[in-house]
Amino acid sequence: MARIRKRSIQLSKLCSFACCRSSSQDEHAQIGQKGYSRVVYCNEPDSQEQIRLRYRGNYVSTTKYTAVNFLPKSLFEQFRRVANIYFLVVACVSFSPLAPYSAPSIILPLVVVIGATMAKEGVEDWRRNLQDIEANNRKVEVYDKSSCSFRQTKWKDLRVGDLVKVCKDEYFPADLLLLSSSYEDVVCYVETMNLDGETNLKLKHALNVTSFYSSAESLKEFRAVIKCEDPNEHLYSFIGTLYFDCQQYSLSPQQILLRDSKLKNTECIFGVVIFTGHDTKVMQNATDPPSKRTKIERRMDRIIYVLFSTLILVSFIGSLFFGIETNNDLSGGNYTRWYLRPDKTTVFFDPRRPAVAAFLHCLTGLMLYGYLIPISLYVSIEICKVLQSIFINQDQAMYDEVMDRPAHARTSNLNEELGQVHTILSDKTGTLTCNSMEFVKCSIAGTLYGRGMTEVEIALARKRGEQLTEQAPIDASESKKSFKGFNFRDEHIMDGKWVSEPQSDVIQKFFRVLATCHTAVPEVMGPDEIMYEVESPDEAAFVIAAREVGFEFFARNQTSIKLRELDPTSGIRVDRVYELLHVLEFSSARKRMSVIVKNPENQLLLLAKGADSVIFERLSKEGRAYEERTKEHIEKYSEAGLRTMAVAYRELDNDEYKTWEQEFLKAKTSVSADRDVLMDELACQIERDLILLGATAVEDKLQKGVPGCIDKLARAGIGIWVLTGDKRGTAINIGYACSLLRHGMKQIVITLELPEILAQEKEGDKEAIAEASLNSIKLQILKAKSQVTEESSTEFGLIIDGKSLTYAMDKNLVNSFMDLAMRCATVICCRSSPKQKAVITRLVKSVTGRTTLAIGDGANDVGMLQEADIGVGISGVEGMQAVMASDFAIAQFRFLERLLLVHGHWCYRRISMMICYFFYKNITFGFTLFWFEAYTSFSGQPAYNDWYMSCYNVFFTSLPVIALGVFDQDVSARLCLKHPLLYQEGVRNILFNWPRILGWMFNGLLSSIIIYFLTTNSITGPAFRKDGQVADYSVLGVTMYTCVVWTVNCQMALSINYFTWIQHLFIWGSIAFWYIFLVVYGSIPPTLSTTAYKVLVEACAPSILYWLTTLLVVIAALLPLLSYRAFQIRFQPMEHDRIQIQRRRPESTEYDATQRRLSESSEARTSSELPSEVRIRIDNLKASSKRKN
């Protein structure tokens, strides 16, 4: 096998800090002890020792069930619901004589309902199973010792100790120890997107001792033993020892290749399987996301309990009367109702023991009135939610064409919660902004370059009320080619014009620093086309900017960086090679990065870039020529919402460098614990006496449509909190740019950057500082609160920084802080850490008790997403980690508007209506049974044939309610967006509050009374047909049932205002199906159909009275709801009623004009009037609700 040697970069040198960090000795000492007991015999998976250890195979199963346990396990899952247990008990008892109806008619609906849920589970699991099969049957090349070659093997057949070869762009089949790679210095690149969502490549490095084994022949001799930690879920740690050639070598995560990550940029690698299957780190990490339940569901449970109590009460009343009646059967030694044979009776009807009979009858009653509990409620809701999520996923208006990403509802059980969001907590970078950095401006030698305005500047200008004469900043025609990450326009510098600038040498140095001081790896995609693999988007912006100006970085190897640059004297482009000596990496602690290079002129240079504060304090005296002006410019840039960085350099003295290098190399190779500190110190030593060149400004562009979206959400009355790590100034400016802070809004700033605190900090007494800070925050909060109370008509924006926040979270202060925050339209928390984000989310959730939604895109938002009631992940640039932790994933922030205002509102309305209706229809049905009972001396005889009853929930009423839950729209999507105030219906939970739920229940009770009494009085007694026949038990049952089916379906038709052919089909189809059912059921032999035999064809259909009664009862039962709705819509309309009527009346021009004005102003992002109006309205409501309390 030929060894392919590609460009071999000694990247180990490039990443001098991050790599080769050996774990400390004491950890390795634990090997062989508890928790560190794994032993791998490399290349000997068949050896006795390895087999004896019985490590698991590489077969992976992520399914919840297996073929064997599916039935018991899924059944168990089903019966964890109280309602289902009830029905199961009922089904079991139905075999006893207690049952008021036959056992199969109870069991069938239960089987249908449970079966449907189980089928759903089964299908979901089957999909997972297919994915597993695909993964398990992927092929990998495994070393076969007998033939000294690699052969294709399925992943699932891989064993611990196998030697495998993985080629470029393949996934690692298990956790491997890297032995060697196609690179000479045994490195390889790995993409860990599936593990942690990071898209940048990671460098892995094999031990030098194993680097020799890089061909099939040489591997034959390879023998080694690995002793390491037991399987665990820590992705970034690994402790192990390699015993090879009678020597011990420590292993670190640097040598470990994790399953599900991908080999990149490397031809192939060889590795030993250490962890297989479920022992791998990625599988150990796979935990179920926390399951969240919606508020509606929680309330629904309470309603179920209410119904259960009703059920028990009704049964109790029934059995009480039954006991009395039974007792009366024996009066003074005589049997009164002799036709019941009380002399020869069972315990159930024994007049001698009426108490026992009554008790047993109570059980019968519990079964009979079980129709009060909607058996199919849970499964119907689940079906609806799954279909709703399909609609969310399919929505073209939330589909990002550029990224080819549709919206994705990762869980379907939070849909209706989307319609009730009270507070949104948002990340900034990557969420409100694109996280694609654009180089827009720079300041070189105290001169500003780069024109054009950033979005923030435009917003600020608008705020000041200036008229903008200039065109939009991005003008595609202006530039020949436009690059992602580059939006710099300045004719003084572009196209080689910089040569004629007065400070051209400084400009040259400036861009050289940008072109060399980085860790990017160029990838030549074609002629004149270079892509850069970078660690952060900022870095890409710098390299691209340097290239566009004329300093093209095109190649890098282990020791050099090649630039193609313009020679200012000759005007030709020449290749220059910089010898790369050292890279002092960027870290968040150092806040800077520098490289030491030797230029073609043999000059030693230290090139540095970093945060302004860090660079400025390292300037030499003569290097401060532009300091003042640069500082000014940086200030200006950060006001414009730009991210700034200072650029500096230093010429190194040869001797100085030599001595420094010696010490540095010594420190680098040392293994002591303080190695990092030592290296930091040494880096500091060389990074001094810098000469300032200038500063860069990079814009993190706002995502498309963010201001409009935020404005809409604010108008919908949703409070928005932004949690960002930015500086206060930047955060405030971004706030203006995306209309979080608006004209006319008052800012409340809570900060610790006050003179007295700063003074104390200089003294350094930590306790005193803490106390002073706490007091100061307390004062500020109280002051702000009084201000907010005084000026209740103005909107407020609260800005607080992370440090102040820690004090504000103090348990004595937190309530008043949250109180203040809740009264502000916008809250911006700047300088906050990921942990703080999660804590704030939890606080907002617990203090307000309302629904919170967190939105974010990065790994740092995961805590926040999981903590919130709803987590929305932006599937943006920062990888998939946030998405994996989220409940909904959208491609862009602006889709949130549609997700909440349209889908959220619809789903909320649908689910709440559906549940209310469900209770209505079951109460209607259940109580007709009860009224009938009263006329059978509570004997437990149901009014209907057994099979009518069991089909009630499953066939005659199920589809319309599902259509309601899936398709209903009160107003169209367009109007939902046009009238954001409609969203308040969900926030205030107007459609699912107790009055409404009880109203529906009362309506059900009313319907049942109307149905029962009108039917019995109309149809029984005298002849019901011309031929003199009278209506018997079966005719009354059919008539009542017909009325029930008609009534509940017509009530449905009356309470929705959206009919597509689906609704028509389901509603009218259900009614038609009842008649069809009756004909079919009535035509089977009478021993099976019993009372239903030919009941429609022979008895009811020829009777005009039957049809007239149906009409009367249905209209009479609809009349209460119809009149209520008519009066309510006319005199107390809700928002959706108003919009529906508005839609009908185009002539009401005045209203339209208002709307148009408002929407125009909102488009101009300066709409200040309406949000405040909305605010005020909401505040008034809050006040009024408080008054009520």
Partner 1 sequence: MTDTDRGTQRDRHSAFSLFTQQSLPACKPVLTPEWVIMTFLFIGFIFIPVGLVTLRASHSVVEIVERYDIGCVPEPFRIDKVSYIQDDSIPKNCSLSFKVPKYMKAPIYIYYQLDNYYQNHRRYVKSRSDKQLLHGQNEHGISSCQPVEVNNDRPIIPCGLIAWSLFNDTFTFIRNRAELKVNRKNIAWKSDRGHKFGKNVYPFNFQNGTLIGGGKLNPTIPLSDQEDLIVWMRTSALPSFRKLYGRIEKDLDVDDVVVVHLMNNYNTYSFGGKKKLVLSTTSWLGGKNDFLGLAYVFIGSSSVTIAVVFTLLHLLSPRHYEDTSYLPWN
Whole-angstrom Cα Rg for the chain: 38
Q: Which is nearer to partner 1, 214 or 364 (CB)?
A: 364
Report the site for partner 1 in 208-247 (rule: CB under 8 A): none
CB neighbourhood size of 507 (10 A):
24
Told to check if 137 binds partner 1 by CB under 8 A, we report no
Report the site for partner 1 in 149-208 (rule: CB under 8 A): none
- Given the structure tokens 């942690």, which residue do they identify? 196
Quote the strand ranges of 658-714, DSSP E.
691-702
**Alpha helices (H) along 834-904:** 834-848, 862-867, 881-885, 895-898
Out of 162, 329, 395, 427, which one is annotated catalytic? Answer: 427
Q: Which is nearer to partner 1, 510 or 888 (CB)?
A: 888
Are 757 and 804 contacting, i.e. CB atoms less than 8 angstroms apart? no
CB neighbourhood size of 804 (10 A):
25
Quote the strand ranges of 15-156, DSSP E.
38-42, 139-144, 149-154
Told to check if 1177 binds partner 1 by CB under 8 A, we report yes
Exposed/middle/buried for residue 530 (C-beta within 10 Å: 0-12, 13-18, 19+)? middle
Told to check if 1187 binds partner 1 by CB under 8 A, we report no
Sign, Cα dihedral of 14, 18, 19, 24: positive
Single-letter amino acid code for the residue at 654? N
CB of 911 to partner 1, least distance (A): 16
Between CA 415 and CA 847 the distance in angstroms is: 23
Q: Which is nearer to partner 1, 302 or 1125 (CB)?
A: 1125
CB of 971 to partner 1, least distance (A): 9
Measuring CA to CA, which residue among 15, 19, 6 is closest to residue 208? 19
Report the site for partner 1 in 915-944 (rule: CB under 8 A): 935-937, 939-941
Q: Three-class SS of residue 581?
A: strand
For the question of residue 427 being annotated catalytic, the response is yes
Q: List residues forming the annotated binding site.
A: 427-429, 539, 586, 609, 643, 724-726, 831, 837, 857, 860-861
240 CB-near residues (< 8 Å, 6+ apart): 31, 38, 177, 226, 227, 228, 229, 250, 251, 274
Report the site for partner 1 in 943-982 (rule: CB under 8 A): 967, 969, 972-974, 981
Told to check if 286 binds partner 1 by CB under 8 A, we report no
Q: List residues forming the annotated binding site for Mg(2+).
A: 427, 429, 857, 861
CB of 335 to partner 1, least distance (A): 7
Q: Which is nearer to partner 1, 427 or 946 (CB)?
A: 946
CB of 906 to partner 1, least distance (A): 8
Told to check if 327 binds partner 1 by CB under 8 A, we report no
Report the site for partner 1 in 1007-1046 (rule: CB under 8 A): 1014, 1016-1018, 1020-1037
Report the site for partner 1 in 1153-1172 (rule: CB under 8 A): 1154
Told to check if 399 binds partner 1 by CB under 8 A, we report yes
Structure token pair of residue 624: 């401060």
Q: What separation in angstroms does the CA of 1148 have from each of 296, 408, 962, 1132, 1151?
A: 37, 39, 36, 19, 6
- Give the one residue of 244, 321, 391, 1073 binding partner 1; rule: CB under 8 A: 391
Taking CB under 8 A as the binding criterion, the range among 70-78, 153-161, 1070-1078, 1148-1156 that sits at the site for partner 1 is 1148-1156
β-strand pairing of 826-830 with 796-801: parallel
CB of 1054 to partner 1, least distance (A): 9
- Give the one residue of 145, 1134, 1158, 1159 binding partner 1; rule: CB under 8 A: 1134
Q: List residues forming the annotated binding site for ATP.
A: 427-429, 539, 586, 609, 643, 724-726, 831, 837, 860-861
CB of 875 to partner 1, least distance (A): 16
CB of 896 to partner 1, least distance (A): 13
Report the site for partner 1 in 1070-1099 (rule: CB under 8 A): 1085-1087, 1090, 1093-1094, 1098-1099
Report the site for partner 1 in 760-779 (rule: CB under 8 A): none
Q: Which is nearer to partner 1, 468 or 1126 (CB)?
A: 1126
- Give the one residue of 745, 1105, 1121, 1170 binding partner 1; rule: CB under 8 A: 1105
CB neighbourhood size of 1085 (10 A):
8
Measuring CA to CA, which residue among 724, 637, 197, 798 is closest to residue 429? 724
Between CA 93 and CA 72 the distance in angstroms is: 21
Are 273 and 176 contacting, i.e. CB atoms less than 8 angstroms apart? yes
Measuring CA to CA, which residue among 290, 288, 293, 289 is closest to residue 414? 293
Q: Which is nearer to partner 1, 841 or 1034 (CB)?
A: 1034
Quote the strand ranges of 474-547, DSSP E.
521-526, 529-533
Q: What are phi and psi of 720, to 5 degrees?
A: -120, 130
- Give the one residue of 92, 1104, 1156, 1169 binding partner 1; rule: CB under 8 A: 1104
Q: Which is nearer to partner 1, 1051 or 1103 (CB)?
A: 1103
- Give the one residue of 658, 1145, 1156, 1157 binding partner 1; rule: CB under 8 A: 1145
Q: Which is nearer to partner 1, 511 or 1024 (CB)?
A: 1024
Between CA 356 and CA 351 the distance in angstroms is: 10
Where b means 16+ CB within 10 Å and e means fewer, 888-915 reads bbbbbbbbbbbbbbbbbbbbbbbbbbbb
Q: Which is nearer to partner 1, 332 or 764 (CB)?
A: 332
Structure token pair of residue 680: 């930091």
Are 608 and 648 contacting, i.e. CB atoms less than 8 angstroms apart? yes
Told to check if 1059 binds partner 1 by CB under 8 A, we report yes
Told to check if 387 binds partner 1 by CB under 8 A, we report no
**Alpha helices (H) along 286-353:** 295-328
Told to check if 912 binds partner 1 by CB under 8 A, we report no
CB of 938 to partner 1, least distance (A): 9
Q: What separation in angstroms does the CA of 232 have from each of 236, 243, 1066?
A: 11, 22, 53
- Give the one residue of 312, 577, 990, 1065 binding partner 1; rule: CB under 8 A: 990
Structure token pair of residue 483: 């690059």
- Give the one residue of 1141, 1156, 1157, 1163 binding partner 1; rule: CB under 8 A: 1141
CB of 552 to partner 1, least distance (A): 36
Measuring CA to CA, which residue among 388, 389, 487, 507 is closest to residue 438? 487
Measure CA 252 to chain center.
34
Told to check if 1150 binds partner 1 by CB under 8 A, we report yes
Are 992 and 912 contacting, i.e. CB atoms less than 8 angstroms apart? yes
Taking CB under 8 A as the binding criterion, the range among 276-284, 459-467, 952-960, 1140-1148 that sits at the site for partner 1 is 1140-1148
CB of 476 to partner 1, least distance (A): 17
CB of 1076 to partner 1, least distance (A): 19
42 to 81: interface string for partner 1, x by CB under 8 A: ----------------------------------------
The conformation of residue 289, written as its DSSP 8-state character, comes to P
- Could you tell me how many residues of this chain bind partner 1 (CB under 8 A)? 111
The conformation of residue 793, written as its DSSP 8-state character, comes to T
Q: Which is nearer to partner 1, 11 or 976 (CB)?
A: 976
Structure token pair of residue 556: 């890098």
347 to 386: interface string for partner 1, x by CB under 8 A: -xx-------------------------------------
Report the site for partner 1 in 820-849 (rule: CB under 8 A): none
Q: What separation in angstroms does the CA of 705 have from each of 455, 771, 892?
A: 12, 44, 9
Taking CB under 8 A as the binding criterion, the range among 346-354, 523-531, 630-638, 945-953 that sits at the site for partner 1 is 346-354
CB of 968 to partner 1, least distance (A): 10
Q: Three-class SS of residue 748?
A: strand
- Given the structure tokens 């006329």, which residue do they identify? 935
Told to check if 339 binds partner 1 by CB under 8 A, we report yes
Single-letter amino acid code for the residue at 193? M
Q: Kindly list the catalytic residues.
A: 427
